[in-house]
Amino acid sequence: MLTIAVSKGRIYEDALPLLEEAGIVPIDDPKKSRKLILQTSREDVRLVIIRATDVPTFVEYGAADMGIAGKDVLLEHGAENLYEPLDLGIAGCRLMTAAPVGAPPISGRIRVATKYVKTAQSYFADLGIQAEIIKLYGSMELAPLVSLADCIVDLVDTGNTLKANGLEARDLITHITSRLVVNKASMKMKHRDIQPLLDQFEVTLQQRNNS
């Protein structure tokens, strides 16, 4: 049995077509079902539906053989104990700093609100900017509006969320896409099952690139 960890939101939406190309179609729709384990059209493959931030943990401990996780989550979690064989090119966005429209450039001693504590820490350290990082679990955009922080570090896609809250994107930290991650022991022990899947994903991605 192969267990694949996926989160329920946008990654799931983008991952479905890729999985389908590999012959993996979930029997239940996670939007309608409360099941956390989804059987699929392939008897030997199941999906576990978890929080995006938990995917590296499940895969690292072998609770899932493989998973799909945003590069943002992998950077923050640390990916030393995982294989990251494929950039799936899905759920793309940018990790950026953002500040109130018209506020002065980011400099001096600043306070930064984010859920990406480690990533933000090392980004500002590399720039030689003294930043006090304030960990939040959501609604980062609010922080500068109520003077909790000077700026935020968050994911930006269309920019609509920033705009709606009077913020503007400032500096690009890194481009983000979702990656396939594989448990190191599974890669050895279940190589005969995993390798064909990797090959199929790669073929699909090639075809997408060429069209």
Which among Mg ion, ligand PRT, none contacts residue 160 (Cβ within 5 to 8 A by kind)? ligand PRT
Considering the complex, what minimum distance in angstroms separates the CB of residue 6 from ligand PRT?
8
Task: List all residues 6 or more positions away from 42 whose beta carbon is below 8 Å from its beta carbon.
Answer: 23, 24
- Taking CB under 6 A as the rule, does residue 53 contact ligand PRT? yes
Q: Nearest-CB residue to ligand PRT?
A: 70
Q: How many residues does the chain have?
A: 211
Is the sign of the CA dihedral 119, 148, 172, 128 positive or negative?
negative
In the complex with Mg ion, which residue's Cβ is closer, 102 or 138? 138
Residue type, 104: P
CB of 77 to ligand PRT, least distance (A): 11
Query: What is 134-192 written as a DSSP string?
Result: EE-SS-TTHHHHTTS-SEEEEEESSSHHHHHTTEEEEEEEEEE-EEEEEEHHHHHHTHH
Site for Mg ion in 5-64 (CB under 5 A): 9
Annotate each residue in 143-182 with x if it binds ligand PRT (CB under 6 A) or - if it does not, as one string.
-----------xxxxxxxx--------------x-x----
Of 9 and 23, which has the nearer Cβ to Mg ion?
A: 9
Write down the least CB distance from residue 96 to ligand PRT, Å.
9
Is residue 72 a contact point for ligand PRT (CB under 6 A)?
A: yes
Residue partners of 116: CB distance under 8 A and separation at least 6: 72, 75, 76, 95, 153, 154
Q: Quote the tokens at residue 192.
A: 């005969």
Check residue 38 and report its DSSP letter: E
Q: Does 8 bind ligand PRT (CB under 6 A)?
A: yes
Shortest Å distance, C-beta 173 to ligand PRT? 13
Q: Of 3-11, 135-143, 150-158, 179-187, which part binds Mg ion (CB under 5 A)?
A: 3-11
Interatomic CA distance for residues 80 and 178, integer angstroms: 17
Query: Amino acid letter at 106?
Result: I
Residues that bind Mg ion (CB under 5 A): 9
Q: Where does this chain bind ligand PRT (CB under 6 A)? A: 7-12, 51-53, 70, 72-73, 91, 93, 154-161, 176, 178
